[in-house]
Amino acid sequence: MDDFLTVIALIISLNAVVCLYRAAIGPTAQDRLLGVNIVGTKTLVVVILVTFIQAEGFFLDVAIVYTLLLFVVTVALSRYLEAEGWEEM
């Protein structure tokens, strides 16, 4: 089971690289914000998978804090960009 979860974590990590490409190259600010948010979410999923692989509860606490931080940063950046007009960055 650990090998399966490790393979899934690697596949999600590779998929995050594709989303990171969208965040770097995205033509609009919305594309960049969405790309960074997706990369953060995929990182969260990988941390949760590592929690199950390592059988450590500590990583789950880290995942919860990371989730809250990701949410706050996304909302703050969205509000900032909304006030600025979502123009080309």
Q: What is the pLDDT averaged over residues 21-34? A: 86
pLDDT in tens, 12-23: 999 999 888 888
Query: What rounded mean pLDDT belongs to the chain?
Result: 87
Q: Encoding tokens for residue 44?
A: 């969260």
**69 contact partners, CB below 8 Å, separation of at least 6:** none
| pLDDT, position 65 | 93
Instruction: Spell out the domain ranges in the chain.
Output: 2-84
pLDDT at 29 over 70: yes
pLDDT given at position 41 = 92
CB-based contacts of 52: which residues, under 8 Å, 6+ apart? 5
